[in-house]
A = this chain, B = another copy of it.
Amino acid sequence: MRQSLASRNLRWLFTLLLILPLLVRAQEPLPSWKDGPSRQAIEAFVSAVTKEGGKDYVPPAERIAVFDNDGTLWSEQPMYFEVLFALDEVKRLAPQHPEWKEQQPFKAVLEGDQKALAESGTEGLMKIIGATHSGMSTEQFIEQSQGWLAKAVHPRSKKPYTEMVYQPMLELLAYLRANGFRTYIVSGGEVAFMRAFAEEVYGIPPEQVIGTTFESQFQDKDGQLSIQRLPKLAHNDDGPGKPVSIDTIIGRRPIFAFGNSDGDLQMLQWTMAGNGKRFAGLVHHTDATREWAYDRESKIGRLDKALDAAKAGNWTVVDMAGEWSRVYPFENN
């Protein structure tokens, strides 16, 4: 008799364990993704690689997912947000640099001279990035970045930049992590700038943020230790630099990658060229109303070669206008 009651008890427990996944599934993991080809492709992939005993099963340790940041996790128009940060920093730091009044491209920034700024080109931009991203410790730089992010607002939406993130991608990150993936950022953004908000905004911890880096050095100043940032680029984490940093820092090939521009092409190719089931996705900016519409002709986030590669390779191309029921978290749904 006692035995029987005990086993009835256990049966109740087992039933609970059996229906638990169903209860969890009832809560839709990707609510801002319409039931279109992209959501179906994501769910089919995750289901295949997590099914124990299935032919496509991948153990959790190898479930590495990599994401570009600008244009993939948050917006990048009218200009990369980190460049807008650097321009504001030039203004903040100007009193300490009286020589900037006469020196391009700094003069152009201080005078709001868009034409001269544009003429300074990539070289000018790198001078601005170098001057605003070095000459301090990593801790100080992160503090400065966080200070800016807390106050600055986007010129169009008037929202903080950390709210200009894509709700569907936040859901995708959470969905992958709930399925045993580790989510990494692999982006052209500077690594410490991204670490300033990635954990709070994306749930991505510092050690899973990979980006462009500057040289730095260990400093012991009368027993005060710090890592000092130098004005020399160490690694440009864009294009072919992405698979290189993945290989150097992660040491494993991802099985899932998401980008939005030609700067992500090699990362997507590298991900797809491994053995077994793999996923490559592109955010296609097709939504001029809620976000922006741009691709092959854009100066920011040009998507041309990677779009051809996606079509040829049958990768997932997300039609933002058609497949996302919501773009930003602050939108009314």
Contact = CB atoms under 8 A, between A and B. Distances in A.
Contacts of A249: 207, 249
Contacts of A213: 248
Interface string A185-225: 00000011001000000000111010001001110100001
- Greatest chain B CB density within 10 A among A9, A61, A234 is at A9
Given A2-B5, A217-B244, A243-B218, A207 B250 contact: yes
Contact of A252 (B207, B225, B234): B207
A248 B191 contact: yes
Nearest to A266: B218
A189 B216 CA distance: 20
Interface in A21-37: none
Contact of A227 (B6, B192, B220, B244): B244
B247 A216 contact: yes
8 contacts: A5-B5, A5-B9, A6-B9, A61-B205, A195-B251, A216-B247, A225-B270, A225-B273
B273 A206 contact: no
A134 interface: no
Number of copies: 2
A50 interface: no
Contacts of A162: none
Contacts of A192: 251
Contacts of A251: 191-192, 195, 206-207, 209
A9 B269 CA distance: 56
A236 interface: no
Interface of A: 2, 5-6, 9, 61, 138, 191-192, 195, 205-207, 209, 213, 216-218, 220, 225, 227, 234, 240-241, 243-244, 247-252, 266, 269-270, 273
A225 B269 contact: yes
Contacts of A248: 191, 213, 216, 234
A90 B45 CA distance: 45
A192 B244 CA distance: 13
Contacts of A216: 244, 247-248
A38 B255 CA distance: 42
Nearest to A10: B9
A191 B252 CA distance: 13
A238 to B, nearest CB: 11
A270 B218 CA distance: 9
A273 to B, nearest CB: 5
Nearest to A249: B249
A223 to B, nearest CB: 9
A109 B240 CA distance: 37
A220 B265 CA distance: 12
Contacts of A205: 61, 252
Contacts of A269: 220, 225
A241 to B, nearest CB: 8
A289 to B, nearest CB: 37
A138 B247 contact: yes
Contacts of A2: 5
A239 to B, nearest CB: 8
A217 B191 contact: no
